[in-house]
Amino acid sequence: AAGAQMPLLAHLNPEQRAAVTLPAGHALILAGAGSGKTRVLTTRIAWLLQTGQAAPGEILAVTFTNKAAKEMLTRLSAMLPISVRGMWIGTFHGLCNRMLRAHHKLVGLPQTFQILDAQDQLSAVKRLLKAHQVDEEHHPPRQVAWFINGCKEEGLRPDAVPAPNDETRQRVELYRLYEAQCQREGVVDFAELLLRSYELLRDHAPVRAHYQRRFAHILVDEFQDTNRLQYLWLKQLAGDVVDGQFTPRGSVMAVGDDDQSIYAFRGARVGNMQDFVREFAVGQQIKLEENYRSCSNILDSANALIAHNSRRLGKNLRTARGPGEPVRIHEAESDLMEARWLVDEIRQLAADGMARQHIAVLYRSNAQSRALESQLFNAGVPYRVYGGLRFFERAEIKHALAYLRLLENPHDDTSFARVVNFPPRGIGARTLEVLQDAARAAGCSLWDAVSSVGGSAGTKLGGFVALVEVMRERSSGQSLRAIIEQVVEGSGLAGHYRQDKEGEDRLDNLKELVSAAESFVMQEGFGRDAVALPVDETAALTQSPVSQGVDPDAPMGGPQLDAAAGETLSPLVAFLTHAALEAGDNQAQAGQDAVQLMTVHASKGLEFDAVFICGLEEGLFPHENAMADQGGLEEERRLMYVAITRARKRLYLSHAQVRMLHGQTRYNMASRFFDELPEGALKHLTPQRRSAGSFATDYRAYSERQSRVSGGFDLDYSSLGSAGLPARKEAPAHGITQGAQVFHTKFGEGRVLAIEGQGEDARAQVAFTRHGTKWLALAIAKLTLVE
Ligand code: ATP
Ligand code: MG
């Protein structure tokens, strides 16, 4: 009762309040979408601080995105008149980065280590394959990177990876070589941030003891999407393993929703929830069943849909918000028409007074955004894309960042290779190969190998080195802004884009980089996550008895722990880290009232007044790559559940009969998810479904229209000839079954993944060896069975 009087707790229901005020100990809150999990987590932190049960420095909170972390900090500052500085709130990557910077010597990294994003990692792998003359056909760079990340996410170094066959043994060897390359260059990829940090805690008892003592309260949002390694990391912080026996300590509160687990493809393990309950002997499990976000038509739709999944922990969700508006369903003739309809609808909503920033357009694949963007752009509707090509991933920005990274660390070969000939300065691929050979022979960086290359190639390379050195000298003592401006000009990037007719956007983006840096310095004071241990932290470390060498098991205790004493990161390194870890939204768009475009994955945890879910078609959503097995399909359904539950008041679901994607036209059936929604909650904006059998006629008309404007078709119409459609008759018994090996005149050999529909409408999904996965209409496509 005393609790209820606290203003902090006033806006909570009894279950939420119980969760917020739980005594210290391990707790799991398992609850559906919009039930206030994140609100409970944030309020719990505020409550712990306000009641004096915890100091800010004792809090560690893990959020799924940087955006969520910022939001949590903002809310906390609004709730309490305290400095939130001492708290560690961030993503796993952000928190691990912070830890590694503080103990870089212990883990064998330069303090200024650079972070490779997915793109950088891929080019690093490509460089590796080339250097070791590995055939890319046999070991596609993407697969190699995927393999390496997979191993790391399981917590496995090369020596520990089971390799049952030659193929895997080769991959493991590549993993080993890749590690050596990264180490030499002083760079770490995303998965490495976690693995290194985990090993730091596991292998250095004093460090572990320090953080265990420090973080009395650990809180984790979106727990269902943690992977194996993240869970292991948490265990290091919140318990000890003695003789293989885990003894939990401290207080961990995890909140999650098994129905919203959507990152299995990246190694997330819902099983972590069960493990958590068991290994931490979780005494407190709280369920939240009231949804505060959505009206009941929306919520009923979500509930009905997810009920089709078999593997669920089972939760109920109700809302007191009343039925609200029906869920609107729209069928468009084509993706283009879908986009036009969407723009009209958005304009109408805006005219009716809805703020554009409260409208979200969600899609399954990034590739879908282009068509939507161009319509919004043409119509002059301000919009903002999240998670597509992030600002910091744009080519011109990456170039500028590469120069900046070279200023800090010339041995960063990824950056070196990226800009040694950009803007072009006559250094060809051949020269680069010679340089790479020399570097490998000498076991040194490309930078150091330059002096060993002679002739005119050597002169040119020397010129590049000199250029970087001049820029570095000029940078010393300068502000971040001045350094970036200097580099953008001095590197020749600005000049290059000025000469390029289409370089204007890129020049603007480079200017934007300067603004991004400015606001970074101003708002963040170099970025909370990027800065090394604050002074008090360091002091705490050196004073703790274990770190003074009392613990005989600590091989590198004592002064080593003091790694960060007196050192702070330069603003440049802090900014480069921020660039690698941040979503990097275009600052210019930030303040605008703009419609929000994003993938469903990126929408997790967010909410909007109106939500459009586009491209609800078989093969797209559910995605074709996930349809082959039950597990994949269930993950797609959870994804759809996440999408639906983002909506507060109004929800639109749309699909198109025909769509251009990846340069190909595809005929798509409406998503099966439509059939899983309760009819009573829906309203069809377009006449429902075409009558059976009309498919061929519709498609034929469409394809004639399209063939004038576009090339290739996914569907093979070659057999129709010019005489028009074959008379409508029963499709021949094709004899093609799931799993069959087939041959197609245009796409070659492939394996049938799935068959759908009957007779004339029967379609097969085929994974072609050379041409990827496609849906083909069996009545039309020339497929023959291969023995
Ligand atoms: P998700 O599963 O999507 O992450 P969630 O469980 O984290 O959702 P929140 O985002 O915390 O849910 O809350 C959903 C919405 O409901 C928010 O707008 C939140 O402010 C509101 N809300 C939560 N609890 C209450 C309450 N007791 N009274 C009024 N509004 C509430
Ligand atoms: Mg949430």
Average model confidence (pLDDT) across the chain: 83
CA angle 37, 43, 46 (to 5 degrees): 150
What pLDDT was estimated at residue 729? Answer: 33
CA of 33 relative to ligand 2 center, distance in Å: 7
CB-defined site of ligand 1, < 6 Å: 11-13, 16, 31, 33-39, 257, 260, 292-293, 605, 607, 645
What pLDDT was estimated at residue 235? Answer: 96
Query: Residue 432 in contact with residue 420, Cβ under 8 Å?
Result: yes
Q: Which of 92, 95, 71, 63 is nearest to 220 (CA)?
A: 63
38 is in an annotated binding site: yes
Ligand nearest to the CA of 645: 1
Reading the block at residue 718, the tokens are 């070659």
Residue 531 has pLDDT above 60, yes or no: no
- Gyration radius from the chain CA atoms: 28
CA of 28 relative to ligand 2 center, distance in Å: 14
739 is in an annotated binding site: no
CA of 395 relative to ligand 2 center, distance in Å: 33
Ligand nearest to the CA of 31: 1
CA of 38 relative to ligand 1 center, distance in Å: 7
Residues 202-209, mean pLDDT to the nearest whole number: 94
Reading the block at residue 62, the tokens are 């893990």
**Residue 1 pLDDT class (50, 70, 90 cuts):** very low
Residue nearest to ligand 1 atom 9, measured at CA: 36
Amino acid symbol at 590: A
What residues are annotated to the active site? 37-38, 221-222, 260, 646
Whole-angstrom distance, CA of residue 682 vs CA of residue 53:
49
What pLDDT was estimated at residue 583? Answer: 53
Residue 184 has pLDDT above 50, yes or no: yes
Q: Which of 292, 319, 600 to mutate to test the pocket of ligand 1 (most atoms within 8 A of CB)?
A: 292
Q: Which atom of ligand 1 is nearest to the CA of 222?
A: 4
Query: Residue 296 in contact with residue 319, Cβ under 8 Å?
Result: yes
Q: Which atom of ligand 1 is nearest to the CA of 33?
A: 2
Whole-angstrom distance, CA of residue 206 vs CA of residue 219:
23
Question: Pairing between strand 359-363 and 608-613?
Answer: parallel
Q: Which of 99-108, 326-335, 670-679, 760-769 has the weakest average pLDDT?
A: 760-769
395 is in an annotated binding site: no
Residue nearest to ligand 1 atom 23, measured at CA: 36
CB atoms within 10 A of CB 578: 24
Reading the block at residue 688, the tokens are 């429902």
Ligand nearest to the CA of 358: 1
What pLDDT was estimated at residue 760? Answer: 64
Q: Which of 11, 16, 38 to mutate to test the pocket of ligand 1 (most atoms within 8 A of CB)?
A: 38
Reading the block at residue 229, the tokens are 């390694």
Q: What is the pLDDT of residues 32-88, one digit of tens each?
A: 999 999 999 999 999 999 999 999 999 999 998 888 888 899 899 888 887 777 899
35 is in an annotated binding site: yes
Q: Which of 368-377, 498-507, 521-530, 738-747 has the weakest average pLDDT?
A: 521-530
32 is in an annotated binding site: yes
What pLDDT was estimated at residue 612? Answer: 98
244 is in an annotated binding site: no
**DSSP H stretches of helix in 80-227:** 92-102, 118-131, 141-153, 166-185, 190-203, 205-214
Query: Residue 124 in contact with residue 191, Cβ under 8 Å?
Result: no
Looking from the CA of 619 toward its CB, the CA atoms found within 13 Å total 27
Residues 744-750, mean pLDDT to the nearest whole number: 77
Q: What is the pLDDT of residues 579-600, one digit of tens each?
A: 888 754 544 455 678 999 999 9
Q: Which of 547-556, 735-744, 765-774 has the weakest average pLDDT?
A: 547-556
**Residue 388 pLDDT class (50, 70, 90 cuts):** low
Residue 305 has pLDDT above 50, yes or no: yes
CA of 34 relative to ligand 1 center, distance in Å: 5
Residue nearest to ligand 1 atom 14, measured at CA: 34
Query: Which residues are within 8 A (CB) of 391 and not within 5 positions of it... i.e. 6 or more apart?
Result: 397, 509, 512, 516, 584, 585, 586
Let me know how many helices (H) and strands (E) the chain has, helices first.
29, 25
CA of 371 relative to ligand 2 center, distance in Å: 30
Residue nearest to ligand 1 atom 11, measured at CA: 36
